[in-house]
Structure 1
Amino acid sequence: MTRDLALKLRLTQLVTGCVTQKALHARFKQVNPQTGYEPERAYKWVQDRAAPRDPSVFEDLARVLELPVTGETVRTCSFEEFRRLVEARHGPAPAVAPPRLPGGGAVPVPAPPAAALPGYLAGQYLVFSMAWSSLHAGRMIVGGLTLQSRPDGGLLAVYAERLPGGELLLEGPLRRMGRSLGAMLRHAADEMFIFMSFRPPVAPALMLTGVMSGLAYHDADPRPIAGRVHCVRVPEMDRDALVRLTGYRDPSGEAVAGTLRQAGVAAAATGRLAETIVETIAAPAPSGLIDASAEAVHLVSGPLYDAAG
């Protein structure tokens, strides 16, 4: 008998960060390209309206969660037994809503908790992107990003730039959003925001690469705008020291490398890395789109990991 499958799948979504069935299906295909886990049927499974007939689905579920048990154990164990297996491998698991409301409607799967973020993301980064203001068109802006632990186990993102008119400071929680990371950063008093979206980096997170978007506030035309962004981890320093490294620069490899060296980044990693950072943030967007492809991430971050390893 299959037991508590709906609850087990909901917990799996929370632990893996796969908010949708399509995202979870992609994770199943990573462990078994011929998996019997199909999103169309899984919508019924997660609502406790049906169960898989293919026993390999449970084998794949055990592999997705890296559990040291067979698929038959996953299928027949109680939800509490399943939770203990998951927590032994992944740490404390969040609460899971029951699969159905009293009126019969499906309960939506909540977004993954902040605690699902890997701790190795915490630290300080120098942020390189192209300037948004038309007053500094063609120049590069260097920002400072600090990811610090929160009491609930999540991470708070604090972003700072030293601008001609003063310091810009925005903050907000970093969240795991499916297979990506995102942060909506807001100014404490003014109605200002920046949204950052990153590809999750491998440990030890020497670099975050993604897209930053918002409004060009310090401009005669406060238009919506977006651009590629590279965040390079730097040695821990006090906040004022990090902010002093920020501001406008000419978009050159020498400027990037010099700023990284001032921050204490090993010189062996700065040369090739700096040139690639400038090339990618300054490259024109094809078809009006700006993205951070896997190839671009590997191209840029390679020098850092080579120097570290």
Structure 2
Amino acid sequence: MAAAALGCSSRKEFCARFRSVNPKTQCDLDRMNKWVQGRSLPRAPSVYADLAAVIGSTKPGRWVADCSPDAFAAELMVLTKADAATLAVPENLSRRGNPRAAGLLGGVTTLTGAFAAYSLAWSPPFLGRVVRGFLRLAAGKNGPLIATYTETFQGRHLHMSAEVWIGGRAMHFLVRDPDGDMPAFISLQLPGPPANVLCGVMSGVAFIAHEPLPSASPIVFIRVPDTPSLEATNRFFDPAPGTVAADLVELGLNVPEADRLDAFTRKFVGKRPTQVTPQDQVTFASMLNREPLEAAG
């Protein structure tokens, strides 16, 4: 978009614009090719500041990194007098997304697909076991990426969906069950293509418990072949050696380093989730609420 507005006839010419404003820029032709193709993202924040200087904007690099494609196009039109047709945002880009993932330097299509999910069980009856769920990332009707996460326990299929928010080299979604009141918040590292794995943290409240148990644990999503029966394979299992690798093979994934992946996945998810019990609340309250109670008495 910026190259078109500036009349650059090639990426090489556009890259030279970066060197003209900053001889020590982190932008070079090889990196630019990867960014434009969506194969990676800029690691140095200075690249966005350099881009602002290239287009003649007084806005900070952070604004360039976080603005929408439409906002960036509007800035270009003011600065370069380019017309709207030259800077048209492709229809397959999210009008609400972040350009680092969906506009200037890549595309969300690399994230779409089906993923097997591995995390620790939170509910007391299943502590110590691994939850194998399922995540599907798909482009929504209006552009935003939609996450659908499912788990199965005690015969119940938990089906939660949300729009994905991308920013700060991370992706986040607050999924909800339309028939329940138990949301879960998932925050993940934003990977570069081919995005075969997503890892991060999931937090929420234990779904099966006699008392509220706010919980958090690591979670990893591994890309697998998308089949109609994938969701039906959700289950709990004991994290014995070889179980994760065997599960992935059953899902149709060819795993060259099966033993290593199996061991690291089990190490990553850990042995117990972080949980807050009512007793923790009572203990804090006993130390902090005494003075108001004594004053009231």
Task: Tell me the TM-score normalized by structure 1.
Answer: 0.59
Number of matched pairs: 218
The answer (yes or no) to whether the contact 2:94–2:142 under 8 Å persists in 1 is no
1:273 to 261, 267, 279: 261
Cα gap change, 1:28/1:243 in structure 2, threshold over 3 Å: closer, same or farther? closer
Sequence identity (%): 25
Tell me which residue corresponds to 2:119.
Answer: 129
When Rg is computed on C-alpha atoms for both structures, the one with the higher figure is 2
What per-residue deviation string (whole Å, max 9, x for no partner) do you get for residues 253-306 of structure 1? 4111111001111032432111101001116789x9xxxxxxxxxxxxxxxxxx
Whole-Å Cα distance in 1 between the matches of residues 76 and 97 of structure 2? 27
Cα gap change, 1:30/1:270 in structure 2, threshold over 3 Å: closer, same or farther? farther
SS in structure 1 of the partner of residue 210 of structure 2 = coil
Cα gap change, 1:181/1:86 in structure 2, threshold over 3 Å: closer, same or farther? farther
The answer (yes or no) to whether the contact 1:115–1:154 under 8 Å persists in 2 is no
Tell me which residue corresponds to 1:201.
Answer: 191
Tell me which residue corresponds to 2:174.
Answer: 184
Whole-Å Cα distance in 1 between the matches of residues 82 and 272 of structure 2? 49
Cα gap change, 1:204/1:76 in structure 2, threshold over 3 Å: closer, same or farther? closer
Alignment of 1:1-309 (within 5 A): 27-30=44-47, 78-79=78-79, 81=81, 87=87, 91=90, 112=98, 118-238=108-228, 241-282=229-270
The answer (yes or no) to whether the contact 1:156–1:171 under 8 Å persists in 2 is yes
Q: Which runs of no fewer than 5 residues in structure 1 stay unpaired?
A: 1-25, 38-51, 66-74, 96-109, 289-309
SS in structure 2 of the partner of residue 167 of structure 1 = strand
The answer (yes or no) to whether the contact 1:129–1:229 under 8 Å persists in 2 is yes
SS in structure 2 of the partner of residue 192 of structure 1 = coil
Residue 171 of structure 1: how far off its partner (Å): 0.9
Whole-Å Cα distance in 2 between the matches of residues 199 and 31 of structure 1? 20
Whole-Å Cα distance in 2 between the matches of residues 217 and 76 of structure 1? 49
SS in structure 1 of the partner of residue 244 of structure 2 = helix
The answer (yes or no) to whether the contact 2:164–2:173 under 8 Å persists in 1 is yes
Whole-Å Cα distance in 2 between the matches of residues 235 and 201 of structure 1? 19
The one-letter code of the counterpart of 1:181 is M
Aligned-CA RMSD value: 3.9
What per-residue deviation string (whole Å, max 9, x for no partner) do you get for residues 68-94 of structure 1? xxxxxxx99734646869948x84688
Residue 30 of structure 1: how far off its partner (Å): 5.0
The answer (yes or no) to whether the contact 2:55–2:79 under 8 Å persists in 1 is no
Cα gap change, 1:80/1:217 in structure 2, threshold over 3 Å: closer, same or farther? farther
Task: Tell me the TM-score normalized by structure 2.
Answer: 0.61
What per-residue deviation string (whole Å, max 9, x for no partner) do you get for residues 47-70 of structure 1? xxxxx9x99988x97xx88xxxxx
Whole-Å Cα distance in 1 between the matches of residues 102 and 47 of structure 2? 24
Cα gap change, 1:137/1:266 in structure 2, threshold over 3 Å: closer, same or farther? same
What per-residue deviation string (whole Å, max 9, x for no partner) do you get for residues 17-73 of structure 1? xxxxxxxxx8542578xx7x9xxxxxxxxxxxxxx9x99988x97xx88xxxxxxxx
Residue 215 of structure 1: how far off its partner (Å): 0.6
Residue 118 of structure 1: how far off its partner (Å): 1.3
What per-residue deviation string (whole Å, max 9, x for no partner) do you get for residues 138-197 of structure 1? 111100111122111222111111211411111111121332101111111211211111
Whole-Å Cα distance in 1 between the matches of residues 86 and 111 of structure 2? 22
Whole-Å Cα distance in 2 between the matches of residues 136 and 186 of structure 1? 21
The answer (yes or no) to whether the contact 1:161–1:167 under 8 Å persists in 2 is yes
Whole-Å Cα distance in 1 between the matches of residues 157 and 94 of structure 2? 38
Residue 115 of structure 1: how far off its partner (Å): 5.6
